[in-house]
Amino acid sequence: MSVTHHHIPDSMLAAYAAGTLPQAFAVVVATHVSMCSMCRAALGAHEAVGGAVLEIQDQVAVSDGLKSNVLDLLDAPFTAPPAPTRNGIYPGPVADVMKTRAPRWKTLGMGVRQDILFGQKDGSLRLLYIPPGQAVPDHGHNGIELTLVLQGSFSDETGQFGVGDVEIADETLEHTPVADAGEPCICLAATDAPLRFRALAPRLLQPLFRI
């Protein structure tokens, strides 16, 4: 099992526990937590704190029929939903979004491919496939990008990222990620704003590729 060196920040784990992260970011966090025992423990602590806060909140009056409604629900037959299962290299949270289908890769050029899992107003989620030794065009960010490695590894100006590692990029980072030697690098990436490319060709193709 690989050792995780790059983790989810504590503030983002707290937001995930509170349910305030956009869905794209929440899937990346859930996937990283499923692969990282350290962040899983930290998330458990945030959830425990949240539960304690709820217990000490002022009581709120409820309707007279609430108790009987809750009891009726408890008496109803219950079928637990199936737990998300791993689909090859894709951990449960990713497999759940993919609904067990294989990636639908679309080329971005130079062997780089992507599969847009979903796109919403508050963010998009995609898989990226980068051949060994291939670089993603130099780019900056107009918002936040979370990139989680599912297979292989990549390196950029900030360091090396292997399986389970997550890179968090913001408006201050301009970089050129390059897939390391070995197997192709496959990443799960979430963004809340379009990337900012320097070169003309990526800028022209950006609306078509939705990145």
pLDDT along the chain (211 residues), means of 10: 84 96 97 96 89 57 65 60 70 93 93 95 95 96 97 97 97 97 98 92 87 86
Query: Angle 103-188-135 (CA atoms, 0-180°, nearest 5)?
Result: 95
Per the CB < 8 A criterion, the answer to whether 164 and 36 are in contact is yes
pLDDT of the residue at 69: 67
**Whole domain around residue 74: which residue ranges?**
1-211
Question: What type of residue sits at position 76?
Answer: A
Hey, what are 25's tokens? 């970011």
**What is the C-alpha separation between 29 and 141, in angstroms, rounded?**
19
The total of structural domains in the chain comes to 1
Per the CB < 8 A criterion, the answer to whether 153 and 197 are in contact is no
